[in-house]
Structure formats: C-alpha cells, structure tokens
C-alpha cells in the first residue's frame, strides 16, 4: 500500500483524520457510556435526577458500598444463566452464516454472470420479497409452525433467518461478483474447466472481501434479530436478544434492567474479536489475488 | 451462462425464498381481501370477582356455522384497502370537495392515519438515505487512509452503531436525549433554553429519529464501500496519476465509477429499510409524534384484538410503496442486464 | 455486594418454598397428561407458574412466560393438539381467546377437581365457567405524605382536588411538575381515558350493540380533565409509560399520580430511591371526576384458562396443577405481597390498600366486550393529537369513533 497512488498530501490527511475522529467519537460514545454504566445500579444509570449520577454513581455507593458493582454481570450470566443463550446464539449464527453464504454465493455468482432477462426478474422478485415487513411474515408463520410442530426449535429459526436474509445476501453478492471481471472465469472455461470448476478454482480465491462483508451482515442479522427469535423460540432455546428483552420485560422486578445492560455490553465482545480476525480478509482479496497476474 | 447451470446455481436460494417468503406473501394478499365473518353477538351475564354484569359475547355456535360456510371469511375485494384506516378514498374525496384551499385539504389529509404515516415515512426515507450513503462513503475513504495496525479497532468502532443490540441501544439513547439525560442536557446548554425537551416536540422528535437513522445505518454503507475500495484496481489509479489527475479527479473518475454497482445496492437496501422504519419509533416511544407504515402493522397485530386483514392490507401497500420507490434504481439495473449470449 | 446477597437469598428462598410446597402435598401430584402454560412474566405469574409446574410428577411440564404472550397464545392454542394447555390472561385479553374459540368451559373440571375454589374466583360467561381468577389489580392514587403535609392539604379524593394540590405544590416551589401518570401514547393513554370516561359516568357503546358513542359531553369532560392534568406533568408525558412514570416517582419529581396497584410495591421498597421518597410513598384510594360519584378507575383480574384442543387427560392435569397453584397453598411470606390475591388466606399488605380501596369504592371492571380491544387501540392512536393542542376534543373523539368503526367493520361487529 506504499505505492505513489496511495500517498496523501498533508491537508487531506488532516481533514480525513479529523473527520474520522469525530465519527469514531459519535459512533462509540453511547457504547462507552453503556459500558461504564453497566457497573452502576439502575437508579444511577437511568437517573431521572441528573445525568452526572451515571458517571459518579451516588446510589451505587449507597446500595452496594462501592462506586462500581458487578451485580448486573453476575445476575445476567450466573443467576439468569445467560451463557445458555450465548451458546444458542453461537449455534444459530454459525449455521445461518454458513448456509446463507453457501446458497448466496452460488446464486449471486449465477445472477452476476447470467446475461438473460430472467436473472433480472429473479433479482427483482427477491427484492420485492424483501419489502415484506418481517413482522407480518413472522406472525404468518406462527399458525403453521404450531400446527406442524416446528415451533420452538433452533433449526426452524435458522432456516427462517436464512430465508428472510436470502434476498439481501443475493443482491449483495451479485453486486460484488459484478465487480470481479468476467474474463477471469471465462478464460478458465476456455481452458476446459466446467462452470462449477471455474467458480471453485478461479472465483472462490478472489471473492473473500465481498463474502466476508456479506457474512458479517448475515452474522449481525442472526446475532441481533429480535422479531423472529422472540416469537419462534421456546424459553430453553432462546438466543441472547430475546433473553435480554426478557430481562427488560415489564420491568416490575427491579434490577433486571441492569442485567440487560450488562448482557448487551457482554455480547459486543465477540464482535471485536471477530472483526480483528477478519479485517485482514476484507483488506486482502483482489489486491493479493489473481487479478494482478 | 447456460440455463441449466443457472438453474442449479440458484436452486437452493430459490426454494428457501419460495417457501418462506413467496408463499406467505400470497397468503397475505389473500388475507387482505377477506374480512372477518359477521359476528353473531348475544347479550350474556358475566360474573367474576367484582360481581356480575350484563355484557355481550360472540355466539360461538352461530359463528361456527358461518366459519364453516366460508373458511376464509367474507370476501370484500379492495374494501379494506379503501376504508378509513387505509387509503380512505371516501374521506379524501369529501375533504377535497369541502376543502377551503389546498392547506385546508392538506390538514384534513394529515388527520387520516394512513396519510400521516406516509408523510413521515417518505420524509424519513428521502432524508436518511442520501445522508447515510454520503457519510458512509467518506468514512470508508477515511478509514482506508489509516495505518495498518489501527484498521481493526477503527473498523470495530465504526461498526458499533449497527452492532449494539438495537433494543438496548434504543433504550439508552432514549434516556440520553431525555431533558435530564446527557445529550438532552447538552442540547439545552447549546440552545441556552433550560426548558427544551426533544421528546415533547414533534419537530425535534422527527430530527432525532432521522439522526438516529443515519447513525445506525452509516456503518452499513461504510463496510460495503470499504470492501469495495479494496478491489479498486491500483494500476488504473497509478495510470490516472501519471496522466496528471488530481486527487479529487481520481476519486471522481476511477473510484466512484468502480463503486457504482455497490451504490446501487446500498441505495436499494437503504431505501427499502428506511421505508419500513419501525424499531426507532418503538424504542423512542415516538408514536404520539411520528408513525410509519410498519408501525401500523405492528399496532394492528399487537392489540387485544388482532386486525389480521388490516395488517395484511398495510403490508401489501408497503410492498407496493417499496416497488414504486425502487423503480428508478430497478430500471437502471434492468438496463445493465442487456441480453448477451 | 448487597444486591448479590439478596439475589442469592431470593433464590434460596424460592428453592425452599418450592420444596415445602411439594412436601406439604395438598393432593398436588399430577402423574398423567401434560402441562404447558403461556402467560405474562411479572412476579405474581412467575410464582403461579412455578407452583403449577412443581405438581408435575414424571410428566411433560413447561411454561413460556413472556411479554409477547398475547401474540403467541391464540396461535399456540389453535393447533390440534394445542402447544399450550393453558393461557394466563386478564379480563381484557380473555376476549380474544373466547372469540377464537380456543378455550374450554371448565364446569366439569370444577365439579371434579375444583370444589374448593371459592365462587368469587370463577369467571362465568353465560353460566359457563371459562377461567379461574387469582389476582386483582387496579389503578389508584399514590401520594407523597410529606409533600401533602408540607402544603397542608388532605389526601385528594377527586381529580379536582389533585389539580388544586398540584397548583399549590408548584406555587410553593416544591416541585415543578408534581403530577405523574402513564400517559404514553398508545395502550397507556387509552387506559387513562377509559378510567376517566367511566369516572364521568359515560358508557362506551350503545347498549347491546357494537356502535360506539363516546363523542359526547362526558367524553369531552374526560379529555379536558386529562389535559388539565398534563399541565402539571413532565412535558414528555406522552412518552411516559408505567415504567417511566415509576422512575419519575423514584427520582422524587412527582408527588401525586394514578398508578397500578401491582407497581406500588416497587415504589415503597428501599431500592432505587432516596429514603425521603420511598418512606413517604402511600397508596391512596381511587379518584373521582366531576360529580358522577363513580370511581375513575377500572378493576382488573388475572386468571388462567384451559385449552380446548387438548386431550381430557391433559386438561385434567393442567386444571389440577393450576388449581393447586392458585389455592391458599401458594401464599407465603414471599408471595403475599406480590399481588392482591383472590384466594382465601390472603392478608392485605400496605402496598395492596389502593387496590382494595378501589374494589370497595365499586369501580367498574374493565369492560369484557368482544370489541373493546378495537376501541382501546383506536383511543390510543388518536387522543395524543388533542393533548398536544393540534385539534379539538370533539375532533379527536370523532377520529376515535371513525377509526373504531372501520376496524369493527373489518372484524364483522358492524355492518
């Protein structure tokens, strides 16, 4: 990345850095605030008297003796067994991402390479399907799922999440595959590969930035989904978001709100690890791949 | 690509979408054309811990007979679409003829729930979508200049608005903009008005919802563009540099055209998501000030008595709205699909 | 660390009381059939469900207690066999189950297994027992003793007196917005109107029909009183549900409010508020409005039902378990203050006085009409415009009527 084209004059660097810093503050402030507040009691964090309470925590000191308390984390992870939900979420996310990407890369590649009109109509209908508000879809699933005894299982939820997300995955991957020059795989086919072999040996090595990004979104969708997981899972199979929402509940029991805040902070940590791990793949891809050769 | 190859490549996606989206859509469209049966209501005595009262109840036996005769319900065609809680054709016509000038017609129109929700939905869509794209694009350019080891943390922080569980994120932001919250307090200090309250004012609530919308979805545009930037052909950039192109010209003539398919994609998804805006309205308890079409559906499905046909009709209207909204982008995509064999 | 300790103690107590309930027996040992309960998730229902599941001996027994229970219960009881053998509901939500015909009359089961259930707990519709109620709830005045003493006024019994007291509190500079109330647009706001309108002596429907009639003098009176109260509320009142209103109370910003009896326990305990606030919080009686003499509040019960589409063995198991769970055996030190229980042996706690006073004042039960839910939704969607000063009371009420009428036509209640 040290080629002449990417070197920048000083003023541009300054503007870019200032802009980026402002954005990072805006993006991260609520999260940092939440992280700090998750070690306080509810009366401080959601103080109706003065926002300074959330920083200083007078009620935390009064109720627990210290200025910080791990009660929210203890309550969520140990008392309410949040780790079960974390395991369910892990299962759901891994399955949703792998199934979505498998179906999506195949479909997206075909759509990007097919010149026929029907490929457009396929994409068009996929998009119209996506316009359907998820809440209508989910309430439509309830009756048949109860009737056929499909309700409550993790596998049902996984398939539903994959299906609901499929139009998005297809469009996104289709856009990325359009950016990969068609000459690449076509020259491989001239060399005697079948379409699938060309896909496997030529396209797969260079598609990672797009696939990782799409996978990230599939992951976030499965990770953060609320409508589907709340209505389609039994208590034992609950994933993290419905569990957090059940902490919020009607909040007639006090203290549970802080369980939700602590849990919400906790579930962000795996994402940090994941992004540190995959950012290399987003950055690599074509620059390291076959195009240059 | 051969037809048969195409078929096998798209088959898994197609089956999933047919089963879980296309079939439900068919049933929703059907549902929207049927209303519930006429209910046979009888007067009964109802007793409980607070004594007995005369009340009414549905006569199950009589209703059962009606249900068996017409399992889907009463066919009403477009009756539900045109009733007062949706397109309100009669009320709009009446308002048009009774109106005292256009502003008066406008205010009668805004008294009808569907049009009021549509007004908010469209304003939201057309302000938030372009802002998201622009902000996301510049974040991507800026992050791309960051030194290698800082990239990971920068990407992570930039993604946070999208990542933090919306329902908790909404709760915390809702508290922050409270008149005594940290952001609300900052605003009062900035405006030098100690009585300023975002939640009490319709205008400020709208602005808050839109800022939240951009904040929440800019990371989406950012990540897509950022991944796209990695595939910009460095040779082209260097060639442009040799030809003496300025920095802006390189972005304008090399980077932007390269990212165009992605912009189409981001615009499509953002237009659609913003048109279906829903969660912020719930998180910010904004229904007194702003309602959207998706909020209507939620309201119909969430009441003590669920209005299935009404929710179905609103869903179909939402789909139609999205199709109209997306038509310019779709026409572009259609042109890109010039048949080649 | 204190909090952790109480949490641990609570778990230990629950385990202990669970085992003691099992040991005591009371003929609660269900060995055949299946139990699956769906319901809301507040503490009183948690206790009932836990006690019911403890009766299961070697059979499938589950519960799904969630805030989304109303979305799931009809669908989950429609299939055959139904997923849920019982739904815990309130007097507003039982209507949806009856309309969809998914719950069974309980007369035979009461005769066989429920002879100990007092008549007041049985909910009968047209002579058939459809549900068994176990707790009561209502909204009533909650006030700050110290603030009223400071301004030298008696405890208000009407909304007019609330306004006078609020004015005095504000004038003396004690609090800027001394009145609280769950006025969040939507369900809460509609509920406040229902209370207020019944308090003015109004009736929602033309007798014996589904024709709504609220655009009248009482409707306007109710709305005007609500608007007068909002002048003394936090300007954000349209976003304040019961949670936010309780938080305002605990922050010491409010001295008078109309609040659910089930929530007063939280306000009077030591957590989340300064000593001055919780020790001076008192549950008063229901308020009146105008000179109708009717309490401006509604009475609510929570109860359980048994699904229709299940085998008789499952119905018997469910009935026996829940009958036991809502018998005097449930009551102990921990559960006693969770609700106003309807069982024999319930001893009223200070937090329950408001609900009992509301029952004693003869307030109306929340109307158990098949189409009341439609009106409630229409009210929640249309009244905020008036309170914000965007339109007249008459116009707002006319909008409610029009929205209700369209929905009632769709549901087949009106032609």
pLDDT digits (tens, 9 = 90+) for C97-107: 988 889 999 99
CA distances to A9, B24, B260, B334 from A129, rounded to whole Å, are 47, 10, 24, 18
pLDDT > 90? residue B125: yes
The 3-state DSSP class for residue B312 equals helix
What integer pLDDT is reported at residue A54 of this predicted model?
78
The answer on C80 and C203 residing in a single domain is no
Pairing of strands C256-260, C298-304: unpaired
What's the pLDDT at B338? 63
Residues B181 and B214 in one domain: yes
> Quick one: which of B216, B230, B239, B280 has its CA closest to B259?
B230
CATH of the domain at C117: 3.40.190.10
Q: Which of C356, C358, C297, C362 is nearest to C159 (CA)?
A: C297
**Same-domain check for residues B97 and B127:** no
Q: Poorest-confidence range of A180-184, C176-180, C333-337, C405-409?
A: A180-184
Quick one: C122 and C162 in the same domain? no
Q: Kindly state whether residue C278 falls inside one of the protein's structural domains.
A: yes
Q: Is residue C4 part of a domain?
A: no
Residues of B in contact with C209 (CB under 8 A): 41
Q: Please write the tens of the pLDDT for every residue from C80-117.
A: 889 999 999 998 999 889 888 899 999 999 999 999 99
Q: Which of B111-120, B231-240, C32-41, C202-211 comes out lowest in average pLDDT?
A: B231-240
What pLDDT does B339 receive? 55
> In which band, very low, low, confident or very high, does the pLDDT at C4 lie, cut at 50, 70 and 90?
very low
Claim to verify: residue C160 and residue C231 sit in the same structural domain: yes
Residue where the block lists tokens 């009145």 = C179
Query: Do C202 and C96 have their domain in common?
Result: no
Q: Alpha carbon B14 to chain centroid distance?
A: 24
Range of the domain at B322: 114-336
> What ipTM, to 2 d.p.?
0.89
Rounded Cα–Cα distance for residues B92 and B112 (Å): 9
Same domain for C278 and C349: no
**Is C399 a residue whose pLDDT tops 60?**
yes
Q: What is the pLDDT of residues A106-161, one digit of tens each?
A: 999 999 888 788 888 898 888 888 888 888 888 888 888 988 888 889 999 999 99
Residue A63 pLDDT > 80: no
Residue B23 located in a structural domain: no
User: C316 and C235 share a domain?
Assistant: no
- The total number of structural domains that make up chain B: 2
Question: Is position B180 within any domain?
Answer: yes
Host H or E run for residue B59: none
- Over residues C2-6, the mean pLDDT reads 38
Residue where a domain stops, chosen among C335, C354, C373 = C354
Quick one: pLDDT at residue C1?
32
Q: Which of C8, C277, C178 is nearest to A62 (CA)?
A: C277
Is the pLDDT at C220 greater than 80, yes or no? yes
CB A154 within 8 A of CB A92: yes
Asked, for residue C2, whether it belongs to a domain, the answer is no
The conformation of residue A138, written as its DSSP 8-state character, comes to H
Q: Is A62 on the interface with B (CB under 8 A)?
A: no
The closest alpha carbon to A83, from A218, A263, A284, A251, belongs to A263
Looking at residues A12-37, what average pLDDT do you find? 88
The last residue of a domain, from among C322, C338, C354:
C354
- Are residues C188 and C125 part of one domain? no
The pLDDT assigned to A249 comes to 64
| Per-residue model confidence (pLDDT) at position C14 | 40
Q: Do B243 and B218 belong to one domain?
A: yes
Query: Which pLDDT score is estimated for C105?
Result: 95
Domain final residue, candidates C354, C373, C397: C354
Same-domain pairing of C279 and C339: no
Is the distance from CB of B1 to CB of A113 less than 8 angstroms?
Answer: yes
Single residue among B111, B130, B152 that ends a domain in this structure: B111
Number of domains in chain C: 2
Mean per-residue pLDDT, B112-134 = 95
- Whether A46 has a pLDDT exceeding 60, the answer reads yes
Within a domain: B48: no
User: Residues 205..244 of A with a Cβ closer than 8 Å to C: which?
Assistant: 230-231, 234-235
- Tell whether the torsion through CA atoms of C391, C392, C393 and C397 is positive or negative: negative
User: Is B124 part of any domain?
Assistant: yes
Contact with chain C for residue B179, Cβ under 8 A: yes
How many whole angstroms separate alpha carbon C268 and alpha carbon A22? 44
Contact A146 C263 (CB under 8 A): no
In angstroms, the separation between the Cα of residue C122 and the nearest Cα of chain B is 6
The pLDDT, as a whole number, for residue A200 is: 83
Q: Are residues C117 and C72 in the same domain?
A: yes
Residue C342 has its nearest CB partner, among B37, B49, B303, at B49
- Look at residue B53 and tell me if it is in a domain: no
Q: Say if residue C8's pLDDT is above 80.
A: no
3-state secondary structure of A255: coil
Strand-strand pairing, C128-144 and C340-341: antiparallel
Q: Is residue B6 part of a domain?
A: no
C-alpha C80/C-alpha A148 separation (Å) is 10
pLDDT, residue A289, reads: 37
Q: Indicate the residue among B94, B111, B128 that finishes a domain.
A: B111
Looking at every residue in chain B, the average pLDDT score rounds to 87
Specify whether the CB–CB gap between B202 and B289 falls below 8 A. Answer: yes
Q: Which residues of C touch B288 (CB under 8 A)?
A: 184-185, 238-239, 384, 388
- Asked whether residue B174 falls in the same domain as residue B102, the answer is no
Mean pLDDT within B114-130: 95
Model confidence band, residue C271 (pLDDT cutoffs 50, 70, 90): confident
Question: Do C375 and C346 share a structural domain?
Answer: no
CATH of the domain at B241: 1.10.3720.10
| Same domain, yes or no: B141 and B268 | yes
Residue C395 clears pLDDT 90, i.e. is over it: yes
Quick check: is B46 in a domain?
A: no
pLDDT, position A70: 85
- pLDDT, position C320: 94
Which subunits have 3 or more CB–CB pairs within 8 Å of chain C? A, B
Q: Which of residues 316-335 of B touch C (CB under 8 A)?
A: none
The helix or strand, by DSSP H or E, that contains position A51, with its residue range, turns out to be none
> How high is the pLDDT of residue A252?
54
pTM: 0.89
In the predicted model, is pLDDT for residue A291 greater than 90?
no
Q: Which domain holds residue C330?
A: 11-137+300-354
What are the CA-CA distances from residue A258 to residues A240, A271, B86, B269, B311 (Å)?
15, 21, 40, 34, 35
Residue A255's pLDDT is 57
User: What domains sit in chain A, N to C, each tagged with a CATH number?
Assistant: 4-70 (no CATH), 75-287 (1.10.3720.10)
| pLDDT of C123 higher than 90 | yes
* Domain annotation covers residue C6: no
Chain C residues near residue B48 by CB distance under 8 angstroms: 91, 120, 122-124, 133, 301, 365
Q: Which of A132, A167, A196 sits opposite B319 (nearest CB)?
A: A132
Question: Is A43–C272 a contact, with Cβ atoms under 8 angstroms apart?
Answer: yes
pLDDT at A95: 96
Say how far apart CA C54 and CA C25 lie, in whole Å.
10
Contact B221, A273 (CB under 8 A): no
Q: B226 and B102 in one domain?
A: no
Which residue in C208, C236, C358 has the most chain B C-beta atoms within 10 A of its own C-beta, making it the best mutation to test that interface? Answer: C236
- Partner-chain residue, chosen from B287, B304, B310, that has the shortest CB–CB distance to C95: B304
Cross-chain Cβ contact C1/A59 below 8 Å? no
Classify residue C45: in a domain, yes or no: yes
The pLDDT value recorded for residue C374 is 94
B106 with B131, same domain? no
Considering chain A, what is the average pLDDT of its residues? 82
Strand partners, C283: C142
Check pLDDT > 70 for residue A284: no
The token duo for B258 is 């390269």
**Per the CB < 8 Å rule, is A65 touching C1?**
yes
3-state SS, chain C, equals CHHHHHHHHHHHHHHHHHHHHHHHCCCCCECCCEEEEEECCCHHHHHHHHHHHCCECCCEEEEEECCCHHHHHHHHHHCCCCCCCEEEEECCCHHHHHHCCCECCCHHHHHHHCCCCCHHHEEEECCEEEEEEEEEEEEEEEEEHHHHHHHCCCCCCEHHHHHHHHHHHHHCCCCCCCEEECCCCCHHHHHHHHHHHHHCCCCCECCCCCCECCCCHHHHHHHHHHHHHHCCCCCCHHHCCHHHHHHHHHCCCCCEEEEEHHHHHHHHCCCCCCHHHHCCEEECCCCECCCCCCECCEEEEEEECCECCCCHHHHHHHHHHHHHHCCHHHCCCCCCCCCEECCCCCCCCHHHHHHHHHHHCCCEECCCCCCHHHHHHHHHHHCHHHHCCCCCHHHHHHHHHHHHHHHHHHCCCCC
pLDDT one-digit tens code per residue, C281-295: 999 999 999 888 899
Inspect the interface and report whether the beta carbons of B230 and A285 lie closer than 8 Å: yes
Tens digit of each residue's pLDDT (9 = 90 or more) over B29-56: 999 999 988 888 888 888 888 888 888 8
Q: Is position B16 within any domain?
A: no
Query: Which pLDDT score is estimated for C229?
Result: 97
Q: Are residues C246 and C333 in the same domain?
A: no
B203 with B93, same domain: the answer is: no
The pLDDT, as a whole number, for residue A60 is 79
pLDDT at position A53 is: 78
Contact C258, C191 (CB under 8 A): no
Q: Is A135 on the interface with C (CB under 8 A)?
A: no
Residue A43 clears pLDDT 70, i.e. is over it: yes
- Partners for A (CB, 8 Å, 3+ pairs)? B, C
User: Do residues C347 and C293 both lie within one domain?
Assistant: no
Question: Does B153 touch chain C if contact means CB atoms closer than 8 Å?
Answer: no
Under an 8 A CB cutoff, do B156 and A102 touch?
no
Lowest pLDDT segment from A283-287, B18-22, B74-78, C191-195: A283-287
If you measure CA to CA, which chain B residue comes closest to A144?
A: B24
Mean pLDDT of C125-145: 94
Q: What is the pLDDT of residue A7?
A: 57
Output the pLDDT for position C22.
41
């Amino acid at each position: 990345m040290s080629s002449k084209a990417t070197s920048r004059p000083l003023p541009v660097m300054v503007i870019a850095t200032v802009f980026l810093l402002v954005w990072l503050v805006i993006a991260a402030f609520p999260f940092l605030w939440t992280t700090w507040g998750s070690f306080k009691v509810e009366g401080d964090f959601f103080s109706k008297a003065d926002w300074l309470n959330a920083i200083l925590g007078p009620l935390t000191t009064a109720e627990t003796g210290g200025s910080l308390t791990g009660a929210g984390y203890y309550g969520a992870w140990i008392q309410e067994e949040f780790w079960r939900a974390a395991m369910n979420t892990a299962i759901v996310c891994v399955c949703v991402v792998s199934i979505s990407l498998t179906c999506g890369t195949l479909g997206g590649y075909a759509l990007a390479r097919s010149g026929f009109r029907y490929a457009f109509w396929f994409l068009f209908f996929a998009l119209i399907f996506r316009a359907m508000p998820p809440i209508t879809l989910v309430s439509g699933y309830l009756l048949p799922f109860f009737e056929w005894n499909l309700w409550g299982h993790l596998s049902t939820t996984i398939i539903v999440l994959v299906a609901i997300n499929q139009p998005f995955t297809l469009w996104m991957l289709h856009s990325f595959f359009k950016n990969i020059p068609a000459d690449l795989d076509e020259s491989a086919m001239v060399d005697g590969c079948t379409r699938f072999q060309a896909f496997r040996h030529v396209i797969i090595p260079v598609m990672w930035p797009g696939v990782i990004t799409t996978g990230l979104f599939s992951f976030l969708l499965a990770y953060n989904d609320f409508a589907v997981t709340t209505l389609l899972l039994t208590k034992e199979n609950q994933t993290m978001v419905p569990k957090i929402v059940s902490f919020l509940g009607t909040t007639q029991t006090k203290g549970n709100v802080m369980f939700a805040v602590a849990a919400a902070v906790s579930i962000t940590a795996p994402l940090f690890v994941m992004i540190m791990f995959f950012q290399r793949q987003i950055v690599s891809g074509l620059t390291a791949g076959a195009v240059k050769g | 690509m051969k037809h048969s190859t195409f078929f096998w490549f798209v088959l898994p996606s197609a089956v999933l979408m047919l089963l879980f989206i296309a079939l439900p859509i068919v049933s929703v469209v059907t549902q929207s054309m049927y209303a519930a049966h006429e209910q046979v209501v009888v007067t009964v005595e109802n007793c409980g811990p607070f004594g007995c009262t005369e009340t009414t109840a549905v006569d199950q036996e009589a209703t059962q007979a009606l249900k068996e005769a017409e399992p889907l319900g009463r066919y009403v065609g477009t009756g539900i679409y045109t009733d007062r809680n949706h397109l309100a054709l009669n009320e709009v016509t009446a308002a048009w003829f009774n109106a005292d000038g256009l502003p008066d017609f406008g205010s009668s129109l805004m008294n009808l729930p569907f049009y009021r929700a549509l007004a908010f939905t469209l304003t939201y869509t057309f302000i938030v979508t372009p802002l998201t794209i622009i902000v996301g694009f510049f974040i991507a350019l800026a992050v791309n200049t960051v030194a290698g080891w800082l990239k990971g943390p920068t990407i992570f922080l930039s993604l946070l608005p999208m990542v933090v569980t919306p329902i908790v994120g909404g709760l915390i932001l809702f508290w922050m903009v409270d008149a005594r919250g940290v952001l609300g307090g900052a605003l009062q200090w900035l405006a030098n008005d100690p009585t300023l309250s975002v939640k009490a004012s319709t205008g400020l609530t709208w602005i808050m919802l839109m800022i939240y919308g951009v904040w929440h979805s800019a990371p989406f545009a950012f990540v897509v563009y950022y991944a796209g930037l990695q595939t910009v052909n460095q040779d082209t950039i260097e060639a442009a540099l040799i030809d003496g192109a300025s920095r802006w010209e390189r972005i304008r003539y090399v980077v932007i055209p390269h990212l165009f398919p992605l912009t189409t994609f981001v615009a499509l998804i953002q237009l659609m998501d913003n048109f279906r805006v829903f969660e912020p309205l719930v998180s910010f308890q904004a229904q007194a000030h702003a309602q959207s079409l998706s909020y209507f559906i939620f309201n119909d499905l969430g009441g003590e008595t669920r209005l299935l046909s009404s929710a179905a009709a609103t869903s179909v209207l939402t789909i139609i709205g999205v199709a109209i909204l997306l038509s310019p982008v779709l026409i572009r995509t259609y042109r890109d699909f010039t048949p080649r064999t | 660390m204190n909090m952790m300790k109480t949490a641990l103690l609570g778990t230990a107590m629950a385990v202990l009381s669970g085992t003691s309930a099992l040991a005591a027996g009371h003929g609660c040992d269900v060995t055949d059939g299946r139990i699956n309960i769906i319901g809301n998730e507040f503490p009183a229902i948690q206790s009932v469900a836990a006690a019911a599941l403890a009766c299961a001996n070697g059979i499938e027994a589950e519960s799904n207690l969630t805030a989304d229970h109303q979305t799931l219960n009809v669908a989950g009881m429609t299939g055959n066999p139904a997923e849920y053998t019982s739904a815990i509901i309130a007097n507003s939500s039982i209507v949806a189950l009856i309309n969809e015909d998914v719950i069974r009359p309980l007369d035979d089961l009461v005769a066989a297994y429920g002879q100990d259930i007092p008549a007041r707990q049985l909910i009968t519709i047209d002579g058939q027992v459809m549900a068994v109620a176990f707790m009561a709830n209502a909204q009533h005045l909650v006030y700050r003793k110290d603030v009223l003493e400071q301004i030298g006024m008696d405890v208000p019994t009407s909304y007019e007196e609330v306004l006078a007291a609020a004015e005095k509190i504000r004038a003396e500079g004690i609090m800027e917005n001394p009145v609280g109330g769950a006025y969040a647009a939507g369900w809460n706001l509609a509920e406040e109107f229902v209370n207020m309108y019944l308090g003015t002596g109004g009736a929602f429907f033309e007798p014996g029909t589904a024709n709504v009639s609220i655009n009248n003098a009482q409707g306007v009176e109710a709305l005007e009183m609500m608007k007068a109260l909002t002048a003394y509320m936090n300007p954000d009142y349209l976003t304040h549900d019961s949670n936010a209103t309780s938080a305002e109370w605990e922050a010491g910003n409010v001295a008078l409010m109309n609040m659910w009896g089930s929530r007063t326990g939280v306000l009077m305990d030591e957590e989340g508020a300064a000593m001055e606030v919780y020790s001076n919080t008192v549950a008063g009686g229901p308020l009146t409005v105008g000179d109708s003499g009717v309490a401006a509040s509604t009475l609510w019960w929570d109860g359980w039902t048994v699904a229709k589409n299940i085998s008789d063995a499952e119905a018997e198991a469910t009935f026996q378990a829940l009958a036991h769970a809502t018998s005097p055996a449930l009551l102990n030190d921990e559960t006693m203050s969770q609700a106003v229980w309807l069982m024999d042996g319930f001893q009223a706690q200070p937090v329950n006085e408001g609900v009992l006073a509301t029952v004693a004042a003869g307030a109306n039960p929340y109307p158990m009409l098949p189409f009341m839910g439609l009106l409630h939704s229409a009210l929640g969607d249309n009244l905020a415009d008036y309170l914000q000063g965007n339109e007249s009371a008459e116009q707002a009420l006319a909008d409610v009527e029009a929205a209700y009428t369209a929905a009632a036509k769709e549901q087949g209640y009106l032609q």
